Structures are given as structure tokens and as C-alpha cells.
Structure 1
Amino acid sequence: MRITELLRKSSIALQVNVQSKEETIDYLVDLISQSGIIPDKEEYKQGILLRESLGTTAIGDEIAIPHAQLDSIKAPGIAAITVKNGVDYDAPDGQNVKLCFIIAAPKTGDNLHLQALAKLSTLLMNPSFKESLLRAKTTEEFLQIINEAESQRDMLDMQPEGKKSYRVLAVTACPTGIAHTFMAAESLTQAGEEMGYLLKAETNGADGAKNVLTAEEIEKADGIIIAADKNVEMARFDGKPVLVTSVTQGIQKPKELIQKVIDKKVPVYHHEGEKTVETEGGESIGRQMYKALMNGVSHMLPFVIGGGILIALAFLLDDYSIDPSNFGKNTPIAAYLKTIGEQAFGMMLPVLAGYIAMSIADRPGLAVGFIGGIVAKMGCTFANPAGGDVNSGFLGALLAGFIGGCIVLILKKLCSRLPKALEGIKPMLIYPVAGIFLVAVVTTLINPFVGAINTGLSNVLSSMGGTSKILLGIVVAGMQSTDMGGPINKASYVFATSQLAEGNFYIMAAVMAGGMIPPLAIALSTTLFKNRWTKEERESGLVNYIMGLSFISEGAIPFAAKDPLRVIPSCIIGSATAGGLSMAFNCTLRAPHGGIFVLPTIGNPLMYALAIFIGALVGCLVLSFLKKPLPENVEK
């Protein structure tokens, strides 16, 4: 598939006037929507904004390529604009953007269109190609420039490569795998040619790995550059110099990266996970710990959500009058659901600890962290190895994960001087045996102390009543709206999840209510106070009803990004109101998820729905008061 099959004359606009990044995105979304390939313009725009939240799609050199890949997109397409005076697009090099291509890609099996998108990305790395497009006077000329450049590129690609020996290899990958992956590959390849070093770049794009590095090429290369913002397969590079950096650095600083490899300033990579891989712009210890925690939480949640909802359904379908002491297992269907749910839910702590340890120490850390989580869950002590005396719970498993990961790192360091002949026994014998034993000993040692903290916290929460309980609901629910998916939001959610394991279901209900408020408050405001919002914002507000009822707080992000000083405080007040009322009404939630899907599993559901409605209304009224009516011409 060719670029010119995806880009039509009607999807090109030259010398447009836009004043901001947001206005540029709106213009491009409108332009590509005219082609008829976007069934839901707002959903597509949200996809574009989500990609921007991962990092700007401005790549420098006056170019930006916003893009999104969605199931709902009917067919691939491209739209393009040139900007008359340039626009600030948060480009990494600080330059205003003058050339923008927006990409819409479906998630289909053939992915033939991705070849054209990859070709466009590589062509844009040629400065003369970009300048020709900026000078184009008509859409016909714009298309002709692309057609000629694409034809020349196709001819080059058809030429046989022959037997080549590469001094430097590269692997490139970005989160979506559409544009930046191929631009980094092209940038590194061109820089290698200019410096006189043959370079081959493997692209891990949306349609899989292309131009894959062979074992022979890896063996002969001086070193490998990993320019990626997501995980790539690393075992094949064991024993080779490897430089790990971001895909943006691959685009912007290719010569600098290549020179480091040539100058042998890149450390050797060992697949077991020793910290010898150089990372451009290295992460702080706090950031690494946060990523490890989130890795554990993300792997834990399917067990918690699946198990929690099954347990809640068991109570919903059981007959309390049969035997109140056995409620949840009185009927066969309820007993089955509760048993399976409890088994799934019981995996929460080992999985959390296992994947935290794996994030720290790679694969050898998984089993060690997993056992540490089990020891914490059992509450083992040296006085009673069988467990049951203490309850170290979520906090104990969290610590066991970090301890297990660190233990494996220490073992790797100690084993690094073993003879090569013993290399094979490290992952199969030394790490699991010594690691599991040591993490069990350390976790058993700290269990009584962690258990005391955990029990004390649970007792405090259980004893809360009246004002203190409502205040807790206000705080944890308000945190949900503070950064809408960021660290504060996640801290509130993780705390509520930890309390599920302790049998405290009030906090999860308050947190879920708080998370639903931001999109609902905005939706109500756009409906009840139309003169505060533009036509496009009112249309987006309708979608936020669905997002709020589905517990998708991110629906409020575009509104918060445009007007944070009014939107965020309003949402916090609304969420805090809902959380406080949820606590006051003694609402409970056994499943770590929100939205109308779990309403039947909520304790006191009618009052819970009322708490959410009042919270959304309060948020709506505060927001509508803070926002002033728009001039009539802007409103329409």
C-alpha cells in the first residue's frame, strides 16, 4: 500500500493558521474526519490525546505526527497540514511545528497500511523532502512530491542487500509502533551512513518485528543500541555491549549514540538483569520503585477484580435465611462462585510480591517474590512457622516483593565471579533455592512487626465512625480527581484495594464513587449550563456520561488540560462529596472496580447511587459557577 492511497487532496490543508497545540489537534481531527473513516470523532480525538499524554508526537525539526490506532476506525488514513507561522507543539528541540501529519490506523490483522505509514515516517527524516512539502503551493503539488519520493524509496528497497557486516545494530520501538519506531530506525541508519559505519535497525512496530537482527549479525557487531519506550526481547544480546535509551533520543541524537558504541563506552549486558546497561537520562530510585510497584499492582488486579466480583455475586445469589453464619455458601451456585472467587482473590498477595520482585531482578525474581508473598499472606513467624498468628497482609506482601527483588540482585552480584562452567546452574539452582530461603527468612522475621502495623491500621479504620469515617471517605475519594490516573489517584486506589483483603469494603466504595465523578460532573455541566461551553465541548460532554458511568475518569482529562484551574478543583470537591456521603450511608463494595457494572454487588446500592448523583451535581455546580458564560459567537 502506498502513502498516496491513504492521503487524499481533500485531507490536505496548506498554510493554515492555528495558535496552539490543542487547536492544531482539533483542526487535524476535523480534517481527517471528513474522509469518512472515523465513525466516532470524539473517540479518535481521545486516542490522539492519550498518545500525546505518553509524550509529545512532535519529533523536532518542525515536524509533528499525532496518531492513534483504534478498533473502530474503518480504514487507514492520513491528513496533513502546513502551518503558516509555525505553532508551539511541545517539540523536544523547542522549534515551532510547521508540518503535521495525523494518522488514523485500524487494529486489523493484515496491517498492510502500516508499511505506508512506516515509509512516510522514514521519508520525513530527509530535510529536503520536508522543505519541498513546506514550499508546496497546491495540494496537487504536495501529493506529487510525496509520490515521487515514495517511488524513489521503493526502487531503493527493491535493490538486493547482499552480504553485509554491521558494526552497529539497533532496535527501535515506541508504545504505538506506528511512526516514531520507524523514524528512529531511519535516523540511526542515516547517521551511520554519514559517519561511515554500516548500521542495521530492527523495528518493533504495530505489525510485529521487521528487519529482524540475526544471531550472526549480533555476534559480529561492536554493540547494540536499544532506542525504545517499551520492552523488547533482550536475551539475544547477552554478553554484548548494549546502550538503552528512548526512541526520542534515537531520532534526535543518533550520531552521539553510535559514537558511544564505536568508542566502546557502552557496558556489557547480562540477561540475568545486572545493572550494567547504560540508560540515557537514568531514572531515580523513587521512580524505579514506583514502576516496580505499579508492575506488581497491574498484574495483581485481574485476580482481585475477577475474584472480588465472583465473591460479590455469591452473596448476591445466596439465601441468607438458610444459615446466616454460612452466608455466601448456602446454595450450590453461591458456594461454587465464592470458592472460586476466594481462590482467585487469595492469589492477590503472592502475585503482587512476585511481579514487584520480577520488575527489580528480571525473571529469577518472580519465584522468589511469589514465595515471599505467600509467607506474608500466611503470617508465618519463627514461633509458629505454619502461620496464622499475625496478619501482615498487603503491606507485608509489598515489602516481600521489594525484599525478594533485592535479594536476587545481591545473589547475582555474588555469583558474577563464578566460573563460566557454572553459568547454567545460577538461574536453575542458586537463585531459586537461596533466594526463596532468604526471602522466607527475612519475611518471617518482619511479619510480626508488619502484622502489628497492619492490625493497628485495620483496628483504627474499623473503629472509625461518624466524622472521622466520613473524613477518610472525603480524602480518598478526592484523591481520585487530583491527577486522574496519576500517582495520587493510584495511591488512593491501591490503599482501597489493600483494605479489601482485610475485609474493609467501605473504602473501596468511596474510592470508586470518587473516580466516577470527574466525567459525570463535566457531562452535567455541559448539559445544564450550555452557555459555558462551545458546541464541540458540549458534544464531548455527552460521551462523558458513558465514561463516568463506566468508571473511566480519563474522560475528564481533555477538559482539565484546557482549563485546569477550574476543572480540577471542581472535580475534587465533587469526588470528595461523593466519597464522604458513601461513607455516611455505610455503602460497601467488594469488587475493586466501579461503574454501573458492579452496582448489584454494592451494599446499600440506592444510597450509593444517590451519593454519586449528589457528588456529580456538586462538581457540576462548582464548575459552572467558576466558568463564565462564553460570548455568543464562541458558544456556537
Structure 2
Amino acid sequence: MSDMITVDLVDLDLSADTKEAAARALAERMAALGRVTDLDGFLADVAAREAQMPTGLDGGIGIPHCRSEHVTEPTLAFGRSADGIDFGAADGPADLIFLIAAPAGADDAHLTILSALARQLMNAEFTSALRSVTDAQAAAALIRGEEPPAAAPATSAATAAPAATAGTGSTEGTGSTDGTDGTTPPEETPKETPGETPGGSSDGDRRPFRIVAVTSCPTGIAHTYMAAEALENAGREAGVEVTVETQGSAGFTRLDPALIEAADGVIFAHDVPVRDKGRFAGKPTVDTGVKAAVNRPGELIAEVREKAARGETTSASPAATPVERAGEPDEGYGTKLRKWLMSGVSYMVPFVAAGGLLIALGFAIGGYEINKAPSVMDHFVWTQADSWGALLFQIGGVAFGFLVPVLAGYIAYGMADRPGLVPGFVGGAIALSINAGFLGGLAAGLISGAVVMAIQRVRIPAALRGIMPVVVIPLISSAVVGFLMFVVIGKPIASAQKAMTDWLGGLSGANAILLGALLGLMMCFDLGGPVNKVAYTFATAGIAVADPSDSAMKIMAAAMAAGMVPPLAMALATTVRGKLFNAAERENGKAAWVLGASFISEGAIPFAAADPLRVIPASMAGGALTGALSMAFGATLRAPHGGVFVVPLIGNPLLYLVAIAAGVCVTTAGVIALKSLRGPVPGAGQQGPGTAADTPAGTGTAKQPVAA
């Protein structure tokens, strides 16, 4: 710990009044020591972590932290505020601020030391001593564990924790009372009170209630270990044995299977998926966020004991699905439905891209009659361009043939995991065969997932469980889904698909221009998020056939053109008015040229995340204009991706580029005008630590928020 915090990294009179200002003040101390190479880039990473979950804790503590490529070595800075700073804690402002900076590739030993600090923050004597310390040198020594808190003897367990943890490198809970970590032998554990232990023997051989817990947070540095310490402390107070598996950045050591087997209850306190969650099946379980364990560990322990007393277990529940493993606790069905659909779309898009580009190349090489060419199995001449065009076209057609089955299969997979794949693919193939198309694939996927989930809820004798995922579930679910698709809902969906296709084919004039503007607005609203994906999926669904209509190709062209506008406009804005952007944004602007030209809308996310009220409206205005102009010019596109690299495959390519340029100019002008009202970014024209002058290309990129 001695090299992680020094007197230069302590500010006992922190004058900041916001969490952003506090993080900047402490980060500047790190930058002055050369431990942060790009101040703005690092602060962008801190802000991205803060956006995931507030870092304020009850008891007046703020712990902004992140892993960042702009950090050279694990570093800790401490600030004490007289007035308090709001970090989002329920009980009010924080007066003790710890900024934790870990390199992107930090080693386990340093991260373990940081975890020891996180545990210390749950010690009231430690935080009280920090509030009363009078000079920076003493504060740094206290945090390093070189001197005990004023209110506690030097041999207290609280002050020994950092040294013990650093020496062993263990990521297990230091307060465990199972006797496995050497802190408290089993015979010293508190005896239970009557009625504590379910299933306790009647001969008086009683033992304490035993809980195993798992804690984890997005960064795996602070909350993970603070939650573990809080649970262990609360367990000691309640006379309960609590053993914690901390799934942090420094890796984790799995709990002994014997401990899990002997446990009376389980607590999951996590904000990222619990690894190997199936180990804990069959136990009374409380599943919550990591901050709940930090702020109210006693309530969680009481809750799991109540569940044990009522005999509630997780044995009847199927394992978490891919969507549930990637989501947050207690998500609503609307959120899950969106994720199920996006799961299918995300697996389908690569088939769309590969198949669409191959078909477009086939047309470019062999001409627009290439779709009538015979099979290359029967006729292929190595020296003829038409044969190569036919080959590419037919390979692309095969790839397109997987679109609907893959969409349906992976929607079902998102709902019910691997058992959903078979009925999902079967239902998708049926939708294709009855001309139900994209809509049929959506319906087949949702039905398949629902059928499998229903089957999984049926209690099955133990002797039959082994054949359920291999024989029974695929057999029954495929039969049910096939019956529904062929006999019940297939024809209505096919009719709806035909009606939508006819409507798209009949679009012309003002209606087509309005649709282009709407697609442009959606493509630029969240830059790769759910709304953007809906517009893109709508566009690709129209060309996901071997012979798409002219209207469908116009829609695809409008969607791609609009999606290219935001990153290109941000790149242009940072070039013509760099003083309105900080160093990290100017570096992002360089990369945005390539990302925008490649139709990667996410290239504008760092700008939108930093200044959404200016960037997003301006992007939507430019995107709407581009989409409308593309439709008005009659530009067509057979390829679902590629940006400027597929311009030769675009109908009316020059006017298409004019539409993109017009949108880029509108967005650039809008961003510059809106940002000019705010004025130049302070220090944007200076050259110093963290500016573009001393930052290697690409290292200033801010972390992008995770799209849902």
C-alpha cells in the first residue's frame, strides 16, 4: 500500500462542491505524479463507471473508481470535504472521498490491497480516525495501515486487515467464521438461539445458521469487498456464520463445495452475473444488488433466515437464461422482451451483413440478371466474371436462407437457453417455408421460448431428468411449435407479412420522404441502442430476400446514410472548432472519421455521453435530413452494411453522397452552435498532461456506455 498513496495524494481540505469536481481535483494530483497519463480520458472512464451505479455509500463515504488504460499503476487519492459532496448515497453527502484508479491490466496483488481498503471502509473506527486526523502525512499512514485508528488499539482486527490481506493475496472474506481462513476457529463461533437452525438435531447438537454469499460489482474493486465485509460483520452480530466468495477484479476462489452443501441459505449481492450460479441451487436464496449488502446487510441475513424457516428454495427454478445472466435483478417483462428480441437480432445481423454483401458483389460483378443464372454446381467457368458473380450471389442467397431460423432460434435461446434452440430453429424454418418471413420468425422465437419455459416448470421424476434436454424438451416443444405455426397462426402472420411488403412497395413521393426522415431520426436517437436497432432491423428485413423490391432497397440506403451522419459530423466539428471540445473528444474525433465512413454509428457515443442535450438533437436533425434526401433522390442499396466502401453498389451514388454531406453539415453546424452558447472548454487550447499533444493516437478514447 505504501506506493499506492502518498502525502501528495491526500487533500484534507477538498473544496469541490460536485462529485465531478472532486474527482477532477483528486485526479489532478495523480496526473501531477505521472500516474494518470490522460486526465480527461481517465475522468471519462470514472464518469462512465459512475453512470452504471452511484458510488456513494451510507456513512458519508464516496468511492469513485474505475479501471482505465490511462492509469500507469494502481493509485489511491483521498480527500476530506467540510461541506460534503453528493455521491448519490441515500443518507446524504459524503465527506470522505476515495478516488481509486486501477490500470486496465492491474495485477492481482495490487487489486487485493485495494480490496483491503474497501473492507476497512466498513470499520467505523477507521472512518472516524480519518475524520479527526489533522495532517496529510498521518492520513496517508492511516490509510496504508502503518498506524492504528485513534479510537482502536494497534492490534485490533480492523487495522490488521490490510496487512493480512496484502500478505496472503486472498480474495475470500476475512471475517469468515467457518474456520477455513484462520480468523476464527469453529469452536469460537457464537451459539445459536433456539429455533435458529432449520433441521437441527433434537439431541441438542446445535450449530449456528450458516450462509454462503457471493458479492460482485461492475469494476470489482470496491463495492465487491465492502459488501463482503458488511455481510460478515452483520453475521457476527447476529450469531450467523457468513462465508463470502468475492468475485472481484483480482479473480476469485470458489467456495468449498462442502461449505455450500452445509449452508442453510445463500445471498447473492451483485451487479454483474454471478459466475457458476448453479452451484447454489436448492438453497433458500436472496438475490439483490451489491449496494444493498453494503447498506443493509442485517436485513438480507434476516430475509434469508425467514425464507429458510418457510422452506423456500430455488430447486424448482430453471437456471438463469442468457438474458437473465446479462441483466439486472427484478427487470420487468417489457425490458426482458426487448432483450429477447435483440438477442435474436444480434445473432441475425452477421448473416444479414455477410449474405447481403455477397449478393451485392454478385450483382456488381455479374450484372442484375445474375439472379437468373444456373447453379454453379452445373455451370462454372473459371475465366468468366459471370460465373464468379453467380457464385457470390448464390453463396449470399444461402446465407440469407438462415436469417429467419437464426432470428427465431436465438430469441428462444435468450428466453430459455439452449433447450430453446431446437424449437426456435424449427419454427423459424417453418415461417420461411410458409412465407411468414421476418414477422413469422419473431412469433416463432417467442412461442418456442415460452413453450420450453413452460415445460421446464413441470416437476419431473429424477430418473427422467437426464433425457429431458436431449430428447423430451426438443421433441415436445418442436411438435407444439410446428403445430401452432402450420395450423394456427402461420397463415395470419404470412398475410400480415405480405401486407407490409405491399405497403413498402407502394411507397412513393411524400410518404417515402417522411419514412426516410423517420428512419433518420431513429438511427440517430441512441446511436446503436435499441431504437437504432429497431430502425436498422426494419431496413434489413426488407432486403433479406434474394430479390428485394426497389422500395426495400431505398429504405436500406436511407437507414445506412443516416447512421453515418453522427460520427462524421462529430469528426468534422472537432476539426473546425476544436476549442469547443476537450482533449479526449478531439482524439475521438480522429477515430470518428473512419467509424462514420464505415457506418458505425457508435463512433459518436463518447460525444453523446458527455453532452447529450447538444449532440443528440443535432444528430437527429442531420439524420432526418439525410434519410429524407436519400429517399427523395431514389438511392438504392442491396448491401446492409459497408458505408462508403459499398458506394459503387449504390443506385444514384453521387446524390447519395450529397445526402450524407448535407446531413453532416447540418449536424456539425447544430453542434457547434449549441456548444458555442456554452463557450470554449476550459483549457482546451492548452498543451499539458492529458492533451492531444502528448497522448498517443487512440488512447484518449472515452469508454463507451454498454448498450442495452
Report the TM-score range of the alignment, normalised by the length of the smaller protein.
0.7 to 0.9
CA RMSD for the aligned pairs?
A: 3.7
Contact 1:181–1:204 under 8 Å retained in 2: yes
TM-score, normalised via structure 1 length = 0.84
Q: Deviations over 1:521-576 (max 9, x none)?
A: 34444544567x36558746745744544655456556556655444322211111
Does residue 140 of structure 2 align to residue 143 of structure 1?
yes
Matches of 2:90 and 2:603 in 1, distance apart?
A: 27
Contact 1:201–1:211 under 8 Å retained in 2: no
1:257 equivalent among 288, 296, 300: 300
Which structure has more relative contact order (CA 8 Å, sep 6+)? It is 2
Structure 2 counterpart of 1:572, which letter? M
Does residue 286 of structure 2 align to residue 243 of structure 1?
yes
Does residue 223 of structure 2 align to residue 180 of structure 1?
yes
Does residue 659 of structure 2 align to residue 611 of structure 1?
yes
In structure 2, relative to structure 1, the CA distance for the partners of 1:628 and 1:375 (3 Å cut) is: same
Structure 2 counterpart of 1:200, which letter? T
Contact 2:56–2:94 under 8 Å retained in 1: no
1:320 equivalent among 367, 372, 381: 367
Matches of 1:588 and 1:212 in 2, distance apart?
A: 56
Matches of 1:50 and 1:170 in 2, distance apart?
A: 28
In structure 2, relative to structure 1, the CA distance for the partners of 1:630 and 1:472 (3 Å cut) is: closer
Q: Which residue of 2 aligns with 1:384?
A: none
Q: Which residue of 1 aligns with 2:620?
A: 572
Contact 1:189–1:200 under 8 Å retained in 2: yes
In structure 2, relative to structure 1, the CA distance for the partners of 1:514 and 1:216 (3 Å cut) is: same
Q: Which residue of 2 aligns with 1:434?
A: 476
In structure 2, relative to structure 1, the CA distance for the partners of 1:410 and 1:520 (3 Å cut) is: same
- SS of alignment partner, residue 266 of structure 2: strand
Q: Which residue of 1 aligns with 2:121?
A: 124
Shift of 1:199: 0.9
Matched ranges for 1:218-237 at <5 A: 218-232=260-274, 233-237=276-280
Does residue 410 of structure 2 align to residue 402 of structure 1?
no
In structure 2, relative to structure 1, the CA distance for the partners of 1:33 and 1:266 (3 Å cut) is: farther
2:557 equivalent among 500, 509, 517: 509
Q: Which residue of 2 aligns with 1:90?
A: 88
TM-score, normalised via structure 2 length = 0.76
1:160 equivalent among 182, 188, 209: 182
Matches of 1:367 and 1:545 in 2, distance apart?
A: 41
Matches of 1:103 and 1:566 in 2, distance apart?
A: 30
Matches of 1:178 and 1:596 in 2, distance apart?
A: 42
Q: Which residue of 2 aligns with 1:49?
A: 47
- SS of alignment partner, residue 2 of structure 2: helix
Shift of 1:105: 2.3
- SS of alignment partner, residue 231 of structure 2: helix
- SS of alignment partner, residue 172 of structure 1: strand
In structure 2, relative to structure 1, the CA distance for the partners of 1:484 and 1:186 (3 Å cut) is: farther
Q: Deviations over 1:595-619 (max 9, x none)?
A: 5566666555544443222212112
Structure 2 counterpart of 1:194, which letter? E
Shift of 1:246: 1.8
Contact 1:89–1:97 under 8 Å retained in 2: no
Matches of 1:194 and 1:28 in 2, distance apart?
A: 36
Matches of 1:596 and 1:97 in 2, distance apart?
A: 53
In structure 2, relative to structure 1, the CA distance for the partners of 1:248 and 1:622 (3 Å cut) is: same
Does residue 314 of structure 2 align to residue 269 of structure 1?
yes
Matches of 2:42 and 2:212 in 1, distance apart?
A: 36
Matches of 1:477 and 1:604 in 2, distance apart?
A: 19
Structure 2 counterpart of 1:129, which letter? F
Contact 2:56–2:86 under 8 Å retained in 1: no
Shift of 1:345: 4.3
Q: Deviations over 1:102-159 (max 9, x none)?
A: 3232246x54433233223222232333343444444433321121179722454456
Does residue 522 of structure 2 align to residue 479 of structure 1?
yes
Does residue 395 of structure 2 align to residue 350 of structure 1?
no
Q: In terms of mean alpha carbon deviation, does 140-149 or 32-41 score higher?
A: 32-41
1:204 equivalent among 247, 262, 266: 247
Q: In terms of mean alpha carbon deviation, does 464-473 or 113-122 score higher?
A: 113-122
Matches of 2:592 and 2:339 in 1, distance apart?
A: 32
Q: Which residue of 1 aligns with 2:463?
A: 421
Matches of 1:551 and 1:160 in 2, distance apart?
A: 57
Matches of 1:575 and 1:409 in 2, distance apart?
A: 41
Q: Deviations over 1:179-218 (max 9, x none)?
A: 332332222222222222111111222343x131222111
The count of residues paired between Structure 1 and Structure 2 equals 616
Shift of 1:483: 3.5
Shift of 1:474: 0.9
Contact 1:358–1:405 under 8 Å retained in 2: yes
Unaligned ranges ≥5, structure 2? 147-157, 169-180, 187-207, 377-384, 685-708
Shift of 1:93: 4.6
Q: Which residue of 2 aligns with 1:295?
A: 343
Matches of 2:24 and 2:235 in 1, distance apart?
A: 38
Q: Which residue of 2 aligns with 1:383?
A: none
Contact 1:320–1:327 under 8 Å retained in 2: no
Structure 1 counterpart of 2:619, which letter? C
In structure 2, relative to structure 1, the CA distance for the partners of 1:295 and 1:130 (3 Å cut) is: farther
Matches of 1:440 and 1:119 in 2, distance apart?
A: 57
Q: Which residue of 2 aligns with 1:370?
A: 425
Structure 2 counterpart of 1:190, which letter? N
- SS of alignment partner, residue 205 of structure 1: coil
In structure 2, relative to structure 1, the CA distance for the partners of 1:455 and 1:621 (3 Å cut) is: same
1:6 equivalent among 4, 29, 39: 4
